Amino acid sequence: MKFNETYTKHETPFGKEADLIVKNILKHIESGNAIDLGAGQGRNSLFLASHGFSVEAVDSSSVAIQKIKEQSKKENIKIDAHVSDISELELSKEYDAIISTLVLHHLASDKAISLIENIKEHTKVGGVNVITLFTKEGDFYTIDKEKGTFYADRGQLKDMYSDWEIIEYFEREGKAHAKKSDGSPMFNISAGILAKKIG
CA distances to 8, 116, 143, 187 from 180, in Å:
22, 30, 10, 10
What is the CATH classification number for the domain harbouring 112? 3.40.50.150
**pLDDT tens digits for range 139-198:** 999 999 999 999 999 999 999 999 999 999 999 999 998 889 898 999 999 999 999 999
What total number of domains does the chain contain?
A: 1
Return phi, psi of residue 146, to 5°: -75, -15
Structural domain range at position 129 = 2-196
pTM of the predicted structure, to 2 decimals: 0.90
Measured N-to-C along each axis, helices 2-9 and 62-74 cross at an angle, to the nearest 10 degrees, of 40
**pLDDT tens digits for range 38-94:** 999 999 999 999 999 999 999 999 999 999 999 999 999 999 999 999 999 999 999
CA distances to 16, 68, 142, 168, 198 from 56, in Å:
18, 11, 33, 24, 23
